[in-house]
Structure formats: C-alpha cells, structure tokens
Amino acid sequence: MRGALLFDTASYDSDIENYIVPFLQELCITSDMLKYVFVSHNHCDHAGGLNEFMKRYPETCIISRCPKIKEQYGDYNVLVPEDGETVLGVLRAVTIPGHTMDCCAIYDTRTKTMISGDCLQLYGIYGSGEWGSSISFPKSHIDAVNKLQKMGIQHILTAHEYHPYGYSYEGETVKKALDVCVDALNEIKDMILKNPHADDGEISALRNSLNLPTLGAHIVSAVRRELLEMKCNTYLFDFDGTLVDSMPSFVSVMLRILDENNIKYGDDIVKIITPLGYGGTAEYFNKLGVPTSKEEMMKVMNEYAYNEYAYNIGAKANVVAVLTELKERGASLNVLTASPHSVLDICLKRLQMYELFDNVWSCDDFLTTKADPQIYVKAAEKLGVPVDSVLFLDDNYNADKTAKSAGMKVCGVYDSSSAEYVDEIKSVADHYIYDFKELLNI
C-alpha cells in the first residue's frame, strides 16, 4: 500500500492552516494520498491540532494508543497499534512508555530511522518549565529503552532539543542518547539513596543545582516509587474464593447442572471451570455432553446462584478491613472475575465493598475468559499502567498461571476449595497469602 503518514498535529487549530496544510501542499500530498495521521501521545503540543486536521482530512486514519483519542474521535477511523505493527508496508509502530503510558514512535524499516516525538527525554529540555527528564513511568521506560538498544536504529529524530544531543541522533550518538535516557533516571535514584532523609522536593532541588534542565519533584517521586520502593499500588482481585467465601456455592451451582444431566466429571473439575466464567463453563459443559444450549444453561446458572449471592455469601476474613486500609494508602483497587455482574455487583454492594473499587469487571466485559492472557493485558491497558506493575490475586491455579504468563505480578490466595493446589499455585506466584492481612506487607 502506498501513501503518506503525518506524524503529530502541532499545538493549535491555527497551526493546521498556517503550517500543516501549506507543508502538505508543498510536498504535493493530496487528501487521497494522506492515509494516516500518527499521534505520538495526547499532549497539546502534539495533538492540539488534531480536531481541525480531521475536519479537513476526515478520511485519514488516526493512529494512536491513547484511549481518550479513540473515544473522542470515535466517528473517525482510529487504529490502536500494537508494538511492532506495520502500516504502509514499511513504517512500524514502536511503543515507548514513560513520558506517558501511551507514548509511541514510528520506525522506518527502510532507513532504520525512528521519529520519537517526546518518547525519549534524555536529560530533558532547558526552559521556564519543569522539563527535566520528564518520565513519569521510569521502570516501563527503562524496559522500552533496552528494547530500542537491540533494534539497530541508525537515526532518531525528536520533537524538542533534548540535552545533551539536541533534535537528531545518528550512528554512535543513537546509542549514547539511549544510554542517557536510562542514566538520567538512575542518577536520580542514586541521589535518593545517598540522601535517605531528603524528601522529593529536596532531591529535585539538589539535582537542579547541577545546571541541568529543571527537574520536577513528581519525577523524583516516580523514580522513588518504581525503581526503589517497588511497592504495588495497583491491585486486580478475583472475586469468588478471593474476596468472598463463595466457592462452595459456586461449585454447588455448577456441579448441580452436571449432576442433573448425569454427566461424569473428574476431580479437577473446579480447577478447570473456575477461570472460565458462566459462558465459558457452559461451553465446557456442552463438550462434556450437557445438551442444553449455552444461553439457556447460563440462565439456569444465574437462577441457581442469585439468591446465594444476593443474601447469603459473606466476605472472607479481614478482606474489608484490608481493602479499606489499601484504599486509604492511595492504592488502585479493581476486580476481575468470571462471575457475571448479575451476581457480582449485588453481592459487593450488600457487603459494602463495591465503592472501594475503581473498576469492577466481569470477564463478560472483555468478551473472553481468565484462561486468555490477553484479558490481563487489556485490563492493564484500561488501568493505564504497565501490565507488570499490577498485582493480581486469585485462589485458582489456572488463573494465576495465565496472569503470570501475561506479565502480571501474582499473589496466590488460600481457599479451602483449592487447598490441594497450594504448592502448584506457589510455584507460579510471586507471593502467597493465607490471610488477607498478609497483603499489607507485600
């Protein structure tokens, strides 16, 4: 496919008329030729002219990893690229989180040239603002820079004059510039370690005395949080058997359907079906020989389960108290469960837990099951954080194993229904708790 791609849309609507359109005309690029506009991230000096641009070029496909852009421009064609996804045959999207979580560069495979926008900050920009090493997600950024080091990039073009190498890096300077991206963050980390009693404002002031671009205290906070403390601040909880003592009821409902249809099943049936949700379990039961349709079976499951979740099932020991304390600490608390909202929401609300969570998700919201690694990746994307910064908690071995394979940190949770699989869960988990109070020390 032949065509043209525009990288970013300047700062203001007026920039489109005054600069972008004349530039495209000078290059003889017509609206038919302009296939894509690539928005590196949703800051005003890069996406500020997008609205006016799309009014003039409505057939152009927007490429952006920013959820807000996808939502705001839903009437247009919006492509959310995966890392390495190729457009126009030769241009490859390269995800470089750090400045923002949705930061993305474009890489020309023909010339090995990357346009990075603000993705790479080095020591930052000299100016009136706090533009020094503006990396809010340092751990993800270091991982991304390590990826770039292996790509064989020959030329990098940036959006601003980043200290000390400016706008354009070629040859050996590419490696030096990438090294500075990591060194700048590690130098902040070293300052924190050498000054253990200094707060973030004092560390930034110390750094700014070195005549480098002015560093904000919020960047010091990010380095302290992600490169030193490494305490989890984003939690993703299973529901059944993790937050509530519902596994006996869940098992009873599911096995009742098999028993009513005289279907034989193995000792590992609970381990198999727990991550699947009602829909996935119904499909599995169909394979075992239950003749009822998936839709009708799910209806029966809901009927059998509703009263238990609405009136009887209780929270597990210490769950509410621990969740409350984590919330007070500023943690992001979220639920991802195989149970449908029809029983999930009413149970959490009755137990006065619902309002503690930032998001309450059923697998139905993702149109897949917890046996699919992508559900964990998608959950992290919705949370706007790297997948490896999320701590997933579940009492089921298969769910824990799959979340781990997707890149999440995993904490196994003891439940009597999975007691025989404790050693298996521990073999894949980063942590294991028998009592919810133990979570406060992770």
Q: Tens digits of per-residue pLDDT, 370-400?
A: 999 999 999 999 998 889 889 999 999 999 9
Instruction: Please give the domain boundaries of the chain with CATH numbers for all domains.
Output: 4-229 (3.60.15.10), 231-442 (3.40.50.1000)
Tell me the pLDDT band of 229, cut-offs 50, 70 and 90: low
pLDDT one-digit tens code per residue, 88-127 = 999 999 999 999 999 999 999 999 999 999 999 999 999 8
| Helices 247-260 and 277-288, packing angle to 10 deg | 30
Integer Cα distance of 234 and 400 in angstroms: 16
pLDDT higher than threshold 80 for residue 274? no
Tell me the pLDDT band of 1, cut-offs 50, 70 and 90: low
Structure tokens at 121: 């900050």
H or E segment to which residue 64 belongs:
none
**Pick from 275, 342, 335, 269: nearest CA to 304:** 342
pLDDT higher than threshold 80 for residue 230? no
Mean pLDDT of 26-43: 96
Tell me the pLDDT band of 301, cut-offs 50, 70 and 90: confident
pLDDT higher than threshold 60 for residue 195? yes
pLDDT for res 232: 73
Q: Cβ distance 406 to 387 under 8 Å?
A: yes
Q: Cβ distance 413 to 241 under 8 Å?
A: yes
pLDDT for res 428: 94
pLDDT for res 404: 96
Share of the chain above pLDDT 90, in %: 76
CB atoms under 10 Å from CB of 214, counted, come to: 17
Phi and psi at residue 138, to the nearest 5°: -65, -40
Mean pLDDT over the full length of the chain: 92
Mean pLDDT of 238-260: 88
pLDDT for res 227: 78
Q: In angstroms, how far is CA 51 from the centroid of its own chain?
A: 26
Residue type, 84: G
Q: Cβ distance 35 to 61 under 8 Å?
A: yes
Tokens 């959490």 found at: 348
| Helices 172-194 and 138-149, packing angle to 10 deg | 150
pLDDT for res 296: 87
pLDDT one-digit tens code per residue, 130-180 = 899 999 999 889 989 999 999 999 999 999 999 999 999 999 999 999 999
Least confidently predicted of 159-173, 193-207, 286-300, 335-349: 286-300
71 by Cβ neighbours in 10 Å (0-12 / 13-18 / 19+) ranks as exposed
Q: Cβ distance 327 to 291 under 8 Å?
A: no
pLDDT for res 408: 95
pLDDT for res 142: 92
pLDDT for res 280: 84
pLDDT for res 24: 96
| Helices 294-307 and 341-350, packing angle to 10 deg | 10
